[in-house]
Amino acid sequence: MLHSPRPGWIEVITGVMFSGKSEELIRRVRRAVIARKSVQVFKSHLDDRYSVFTVTTHDGLSVEAQPADSAAEIMRQVRPETEVVAIDEAQFLDPGVVDICTALAQRGVRVIVAGTDTDFRGEPFGPIPELLAVAEVVDKLHAICVRCGNPACRNQRLIDGKPARYDSPTIMVGGSEAYEARCRHCHELPTVDEDQTRLL
């Protein structure tokens, strides 16, 4: 494999929802722009909460981005002169994102990836765990548990104000109307059996 004379590496920003992952990605992108680097920003096309063509934080900060439905599409759109590639909501992308991040870093690109490392069940989410394993730099951010105020490390999915069942679909895009940040001890996950018991 050919190596670029320009150093490349992978940075992963991870953690629960509302922990500031997109905000940190935007901060790094803006600093790269100030440093006059050629930057491209991508995001999963599934994340259309604020705009399809921007990475936007819950507080309203934003940066232009190109939506992509696969890792291969990102790779096709990266320009030869690009020095920094940022990818937001990478948990929604296919496992191929690990290979393209590795390939880009190998050819001298700084790759910044943001994504949630666990799903609403508290289990590993998509390609993020493997990206954590191959990255040079990893930052795990925490939110504040809405119940007790301790550091939050879980995404609590809510359906009609109640915790979602374990067998709910893994992917459901949403904001504060559908999710809360909670710590390990305040996180709730009813099983199908518990739901049936409630109805009796």
Beta strands 62-64 and 9-15 are: unpaired
For residues 198 and 38, give the distance between their C-alpha atoms in angstroms, rounded to a whole number: 56
- How many C-beta neighbours within 10 Å does residue 2 have? 5
In the chain, what are the domain boundaries? 9-142
Q: Report pLDDT digits (tens) over 129-176.
A: 999 999 999 999 999 999 999 999 999 999 888 999 998 888 877 666
pLDDT tier at 180 (50, 70, 90 boundaries)?
Answer: very high
Determine the Cα–Cα distance for residues 6 and 145; give it in Å rounded to an integer: 42
Q: Six-digit token pair at 10?
A: 């992978």
**Cβ–Cβ under 8 Å, residues 109 and 46:** no
Q: Tokens for 104, please give them.
A: 């880009």
Cβ contacts of 147 within 8 Å, gap of 6 or more: 182, 183, 186
How much is the pLDDT for 3?
56
Look at strands 9-15 and 110-115 and give their pairing: parallel
Assign 17 a pLDDT band (cuts: 50, 70, 90): very high
Cross-strand pairs, 84: 39, 110
Residue range 56-66, pLDDT digits in tens: 665 667 788 99
| Contact partners, residue 165, CB within 8 Å, separation at least 6 | 189, 190, 191, 192, 195
Q: For residues 109-135, b (16+ Cβ closer than 10 Å) or e, as one string? A: bbbbbbbbbbbbbbeebbbbbebbeeb
Question: At which residue do the structure tokens 């590496």 appear?
Answer: 9
Note if 89 is an active site residue: yes
For residue range 81-126, list pLDDT tens digits in order: 999 999 999 999 999 999 999 999 999 999 999 999 999 999 999 9
Given the residues 23, 24, 89, 180, select the one marked as catalytic: 89
Q: Is 68 helix (H, G, I), strand (E, B) or coil?
A: strand
Q: How far apart are CA 113 and CA 12, in angstroms?
A: 5
CATH assignment of 9-142? 3.40.50.300
Say what the pLDDT of residue 200 is. 39
Structure tokens at 195: 């739901």
Per-residue pLDDT of 69-91, as tens digits, reads 999 999 999 999 999 999 999 99
Q: What is the Cα gyration radius of the chain?
A: 18
Specify which residues 59 forms β-bridges with. none
Determine the Cα–Cα distance for residues 159 and 189; give it in Å rounded to an integer: 12
